[in-house]
Amino acid sequence: MSSNPLPTGVTPVKSTGLHVGEIAPGVKKVDPIIIADGVTRKFGGLTAVNVEHLEIPRNAITALIGPNGAGKTTLFNLLTGFDKPDTGSWTFDGKNMKGVAAYQAAKLGQVRTFQLTKALGLLTVMENMKLGAKNQVGERIFPSLFPGFWRKQEATNEVKALDLLKKFKLDTKQTDFAASLSGGQRKLLEMARALMSDPKLVMLDEPMAGVNPALTQSLLEHILNLKQEGMTVLFVEHDMHMVRHIADWVVVMAMGEVVAEGPPDEVMRNQKVIDAYLGSHQDVDLGVVTGRVKGKMDPEAKKMAEEVEHLDQAINASEKGDN
């Protein structure tokens, strides 16, 4: 679990009143952008995802959290069309997404940041940005026969890309190979590239992983700006401090199911959530982790001690009421 000291000076305005009725897993939202029903995905005998009902609130920042192996990435892959469920369906912005492939989902306004792979690293920053644009004329056969038309679109994309790169302070790097960027700059590029398609929903997979503290503030501000600009954000994150700081709503998964959801402070104090984190390390001697029993901390125990400490710190901070 990464632990970025959160910068002072970023004070998010939290969205409230997102749900209808009593808070419980599957609670209805006032204005959901995603509604999922009965979504399951098995790998052999293992049920990685088993989500009965889930609604993601529009124009809010929702964090998807849970211990390792909870099914967060699998659910992300399903919702973005990168994987197919065994059962279930969901709508995005009122549209049934059954059988909708990732590139089509992106055209509908649901975009996911994807990691800068080795191949993309060999493209320049600007080339990466252009890959993120939708409705590229060159992709379609008929218009691509008319270079004038094609070049016009290319120029429009370039202007838009440069605009975004300026915003993300990457404009001076536009001709650099993407592979030469630092970990944090790569995350910024991934986010900037996603914005090339004017999304309604931006899905981020561990946006803070591998980001050094110097760029943490900038990344947080960009995520908060997405909401400010009317977009919806759904992100998977292990860093509880970040979750508490910027999420309006938190969905907790454990063993494929949604075990809790709600505003961050409430969710982190939820016994089911604490149990989910503790219960995810069944092979670990809890006595050793808590120091009550003498023994060697193996890597699994160390990881657990770290996770529990972060959860603990987040709970303490929320009790003190600081941000």
Ligand X SMILES: Nc1ncnc2c1ncn2[C@@H]1O[C@H](COP(=O)(O)OP(=O)(O)OP(=O)(O)O)[C@@H](O)[C@H]1O
Q: Shortest distance, CB of residue 53 to ligand X, whole angstroms?
A: 19
Q: Build a one-symbol-per-residue string for 53-92: x at contacts with ligand X by CB under 6 A, - elsewhere.
A: -------------x-xxxxxxx------------------
Toward ligand X, which CB reaches closer, 190 or 307? 307
Specify the long-range contacts of residues 175-180, CB closer than 8 Å, at least 24 apart.
Answer: 175/124, 175/125, 175/126, 176/124, 176/125, 177/121, 177/122, 177/123, 177/124, 177/125, 178/116, 178/120, 178/121, 178/122, 178/123, 178/124, 178/125, 178/127, 178/128, 179/116, 179/118, 179/121, 179/122
Binding positions for ligand X, 99-158, rule CB under 6 A: none
Q: Cβ(43)–Cβ(229) under 8 Å?
A: no
Toward ligand X, which CB reaches closer, 75 or 289? 75
Q: Shortest distance, CB of residue 70 to ligand X, whole angstroms?
A: 4
Q: Shortest distance, CB of residue 296 to ligand X, whole angstroms?
A: 24
Q: Shortest distance, CB of residue 30 to ligand X, whole angstroms?
A: 27
Q: Where are the beta strands (DSSP E) in the chain?
A: 19-20, 28-29, 32-43, 46-57, 61-65, 87-92, 95-96, 110-112, 201-205, 232-236, 249-254, 257-262
Q: Build a one-symbol-per-residue string for 27-46: x at contacts with ligand X by CB under 6 A, - elsewhere.
A: ----------------x--x
Toward ligand X, which CB reaches closer, 192 or 233? 233
51 in contact with ligand X (CB under 6 A): no
Torsion angle in degrees (nearest 10) through CA of 146, 150, 153, 154: -160
Q: Shortest distance, CB of residue 42 to ligand X, whole angstroms?
A: 9
Residues that bind ligand X (rule: CB under 6 A) add up to a total of 11
Toward ligand X, which CB reaches closer, 43 or 103? 43
Residues that bind ligand X (CB under 6 A): 43, 46, 48, 66, 68-74
